[in-house]
Chains A and B, each alone.
Chain A
Amino acid sequence: MYSAILLKCITKLQNERSPSSIYHLLKGKRSSQTIQDAKAYGLSPFFGIYKTLSKKQFQNSLSILQKENLITWLDDDQLMITEAGRISLQTDMEESPELDWLDGFNVHHIAPQFWLRLLLWIQTGSNLLKDESHFIPVHDQWESVDWVRQFYRNKKKDLEGHFTNLYQELYSLLKLHRSFHADIVVSRLTGYKKIGLSKQQIAEKWKLPIEDVEMYIQSSIHFIVNKVCQNQSEFPALLAFIPEKLKQLPLTDSAAKTYYWLKQGYSIEHIAKKRRLKINTIQDHLIEITYVDSSFSIDSYVAKEDKEMINRTIDELNTKRLKVIKDHLPDSVSYFMIRMVMAKNYQ
């Protein structure tokens, strides 16, 4: 599954972007460049789906793909998919519906939190229902621990009833997984006298690369989060685990601050001065905002004629490479303007 994701990224980037941009994409780097890559090349489902990926691991997987002749290197540090790669990707896409479950751009910022809460709560409830209060939590991420403590206070009156509901909701969603996929997800859960498996163990047990294990778990989390959010009345128990943040735009904290001041009517220059940031940084924020908020208008930053001219050039050249586009435009059109227009197009 992971290699299919890499192949898909390589295909879509049409060797216009370097391999490290794929790495940043999977890690979910909050830079306007990465966000632009995700949107402009249609890779937003993969944004931030592999936050623990290391550079070494990433490079390693590229060499494996190369060894299997699924990709080749072009001379200028660019990757290209081979015919064999195309076929492999085709088969994987047909065989793995889970690929379509990934929805990184929209849920990457809440998926981890949702999952940590759920894991810890299942362990807590499962133990408490057996009157076992001496157990060592599966993780000690502060926010979730706090949250679970609070949650317990609300649920302790009818823990059993709540647990039955939670079970039923989870069961019905897991039922929509392929059975080995549900096996993997459930094997990861910790409960009373049952400790979950590590990713390494799952990889060995199902004979998968460890990266695939991560991707299967992520796809399941994204699937569950989206189903729950789209059918809130059907999944009241699970809905409680969705962090508030989902309702906010998926912006970095810094971009969100810039947006706040923009809405108060401040100019880019003024905000830069106020926040002691470079103008460039604030412009990056604006691009980030344009990508995530479709109601955001770019008219005050790019004049109508300029916008049309930029779009025409992009169409003619049929590329997303900024440098190439810029070279074909008059000097009065800045990179910032081109990026804003592109952001608007791919909102």
Chain B
Amino acid sequence: MNKMNQKELLDTLQHQFGFDEFREGQYDIIQDIFCGEDVLGILPTGTGKSLCYQLPAFSFEGVTVVISPLVSLMIDQVKKLKAKGFKRVTAINSLLDHNQRDNIFAHLNEYKLIYCSPEMLQNPFFFKHLKTLTISLFVVDEAHCISQWGHEFRTDYLKLKDSIKKLGNPTVLALSATATPQVQDDIQYFLDKPNMKKRIYYMDRPNIAFSIEHVSNWQEKVNRITDILQHKPVPTMIYFSSRKWCEKVSEILKKELGSLRIAYYHGGMEADDRLLIQQQFMNHQLDVICCTSAFGMGVDKQDIRLVIHFHLPAQMESFIQEAGRAGRDGKESVSLVLYTDGDEQIPLRLIEQELPTEKQTENIFQDINKCKTSSLPLKKVKEELIFKNELTETQWNFLQYQFEKQQMVHNEQFHLDSKLLEDTFQQILFLLRERTTIKIKKLYEFIRWVKTPGCRRKDLYQTFQKGYQSPVYYCCDHCDFSFSKWNPPMNQIEEKVEGWEVELKRIFHQEAIM
């Protein structure tokens, strides 16, 4: 493939995407891709990683496949591209019904850019269709999911290596915002791309000040938030670790802060309502959003000034991502963590739930053992095993991957050899303990940061990179920051209470006609 000259690339950027210039990293990565090089790109959150494959995708002859871990993220990207006038994009996901899927599969060759989940890539029917196409570029978004050390770990990411080979070894681009050197190694190892070109950029955000406040209970957290927002009514996100807390605190804040427009957002809401809330926030109809980690990915609001963590995030990486929602416009912003002794209990419980427990695993093996046949179709027992042992989808996927890896499941059939079963069982227990240890270790890394006596900024970034850029506004509460000094641009709240007649007129642009 040919290198495009700078002028040509800039033209494409301006005309097709409507941006004036490339952001840091974009030009280099795109140029590498046009040269056919495999690239590992680490760029900070919200700086425009997507463009690194979207621009080449529409210039290439063949198709670009993007592996993305979250359905909502994919759908969001597709909608944005369509809104920009790119029609030949699609997301193959579990929300599509049979007809829609068949329809897309039948016209797969008409798309230039296909988003899909790693699970979907394992669907033999889909893969068969995909193999008939010429794949020019294979993108692994949120590539840290491939590593046990990444903040999310998805077993289906481990199967990508084989899929890439079967698709005729297209150029590979792996992207992530938060990958320590260790995770970067894992990405190369598991994709089997030892010679990948690494494009690693500074991930620190010089316009965000870091502040941590130690309080004695949750009511104090609420009081603190009320106090800050009363004086500084800025666009704010507040992260919680459970849906219940998210709703509860949002309720209280609404009462305490009557003049602010507050809503909550979490994964338990209907999809349409979630979209509305997200759009209201983008459209300045909401000032404060109380959310779980389900919000954030794909949310691209430029003027968020304050991100508060009401609970501890699971680890540094998720914190950096979530706090990184602040100040995408480069203006002065703050990340605040509210901490109470004992706060680590909630993430510890969540860690337990991510993978099956040892007890669940044991029960499952007992259940399988009870089927006294030597071979058993996976389909036949899967639902029951999931139901009986109350497994989540992630938990089951983990198990199934291990079954397959140990050859206990082959071609959708269980092979019930007692030696094999025992080995697999031991292997799974080992992995469970390892993963749990890793996660607990990562949580304590974060807690260590919360308690650090030194500069928060320096401490936060040191595991990821050497050094950091000097802050453009404030650094952290240990160096120079306090809320009383902070003078962010404030929200103009102009909520007029008007009846439906006025509102209807406005929607239909009939204001002139009175």
B504's contact among A129, A140, A186, A199, by CB below 8 Å, is which? A186
Asked if A323 CB lies within 8 Å of chain B CBs, one says no
- Separation of A126 and B283 alpha carbons in the complex (Å): 15
- 8 Å CB contacts to A: which residues of B60-117? 75, 79-80, 83-85, 100
Q: Which A residue's beta carbon lies closest to that of B83?
A: A134
B510's contact among A52, A135, A167, A185, by CB below 8 Å, is which? A167
Asked if A14 CB lies within 8 Å of chain B CBs, one says no
Asked if B196 CB lies within 8 Å of chain A CBs, one says no
A136 touches B83 (CB 8 A): yes
B500's contact among A137, A139, A142, A186, by CB below 8 Å, is which? A186
Contacts of B508 in A (CB 8 A): 122, 125-126, 163-164, 166-167, 191
Q: Which B residue's beta carbon lies closest to that of A177?
A: B500
- 8 Å CB contacts to B: which residues of A181-208? 182-183, 185-187, 189-201, 204
> Which of A129, A163, A192, A198: most chain B Cβ within 10 A?
A198
Pick from B148-156, B273-281, B361-369 the stretch touching chain A. B273-281
A171 touches B504 (CB 8 A): yes
> Which of A133, A171, A186: most chain B Cβ within 10 A?
A186
Asked if B3 CB lies within 8 Å of chain A CBs, one says no
Contacts of B1 in A (CB 8 A): none
Contacts of A189 in B (CB 8 A): 503-504, 507
Contacts of A204 in B (CB 8 A): 254
Contacts of B275 in A (CB 8 A): 136, 138-139
Closest approach, in angstroms, between the C-beta of B80 and any C-beta of chain A? 7
Contacts of A133 in B (CB 8 A): 83, 85
Q: Which A residue's beta carbon lies closest to that of B275?
A: A138
B83's contact among A135, A140, A193, by CB below 8 Å, is which? A135
- Separation of A194 and B463 alpha carbons in the complex (Å): 43
Asked if A130 CB lies within 8 Å of chain B CBs, one says yes
Secondary structure at chain B's binding surface: helix, strand, loop or mixed?
A: helix
Asked if B349 CB lies within 8 Å of chain A CBs, one says no
Contacts of A166 in B (CB 8 A): 508
- Separation of A201 and B264 alpha carbons in the complex (Å): 10
Asked if A318 CB lies within 8 Å of chain B CBs, one says no
B75 touches A167 (CB 8 A): no
Asked if B269 CB lies within 8 Å of chain A CBs, one says yes
A195 touches B280 (CB 8 A): yes
- Separation of A39 and B255 alpha carbons in the complex (Å): 46
- Separation of A140 and B100 alpha carbons in the complex (Å): 12
Known contacts A52-B270, A136-B79, A186-B504; A196 and B276 CB within 8 A of each other: yes
- Separation of A136 and B298 alpha carbons in the complex (Å): 13
Q: How many residues of A contact B (CB 8 A)?
A: 42
Q: Mark A169-187, 1 if CB is under 8 A from B, else 0.
A: 0110010000100110111
Asked if B506 CB lies within 8 Å of chain A CBs, one says yes
- 8 Å CB contacts to B: which residues of A270-313? none
- Separation of A182 and B100 alpha carbons in the complex (Å): 35
Asked if B499 CB lies within 8 Å of chain A CBs, one says yes
Q: Which B residue's beta carbon lies closest to that of A189?
A: B507
Q: Mark B416-439, 1 if CB is under 8 A from A, else 0.
A: 000000000000000000000000
- Separation of A190 and B508 alpha carbons in the complex (Å): 10
Asked if B285 CB lies within 8 Å of chain A CBs, one says yes
Closest approach, in angstroms, between the C-beta of A258 and any C-beta of chain B? 22
B276 touches A138 (CB 8 A): yes
A174 touches B504 (CB 8 A): yes
Contacts of B80 in A (CB 8 A): 136
A195's contact among B279, B504, B505, by CB below 8 Å, is which? B279
- Separation of A19 and B385 alpha carbons in the complex (Å): 31
B506 touches A191 (CB 8 A): yes
Contacts of B503 in A (CB 8 A): 186-187, 189, 194
Contacts of A182 in B (CB 8 A): 500-501
Known contacts A139-B275, A198-B277; A167 and B79 CB within 8 A of each other: no
Asked if B485 CB lies within 8 Å of chain A CBs, one says no
Asked if B231 CB lies within 8 Å of chain A CBs, one says no
Contacts of B84 in A (CB 8 A): 134
Asked if B263 CB lies within 8 Å of chain A CBs, one says yes
Contacts of B276 in A (CB 8 A): 138, 190, 195-198
- Separation of A190 and B283 alpha carbons in the complex (Å): 12
Contacts of B277 in A (CB 8 A): 198, 201
A201 touches B263 (CB 8 A): yes
- Separation of A300 and B314 alpha carbons in the complex (Å): 70
A198 touches B273 (CB 8 A): yes
Q: Which 3 A-B pairs have CB atoms at the shortest separation, nearest pair first?
A: A191-B507, A198-B273, A186-B500
Can you list 17 residue pairs at the A/B interface with Cβ under 8 Å? A133-B85, A136-B79, A136-B80, A138-B272, A164-B510, A167-B505, A170-B504, A186-B503, A190-B276, A191-B507, A192-B507, A194-B283, A194-B285, A194-B506, A194-B507, A199-B270, A200-B263
Interface residues of A (CB under 8 A from B): 52, 122, 125-126, 129-130, 133-140, 142, 163-164, 166-167, 170-171, 174, 179, 182-183, 185-187, 189-201, 204
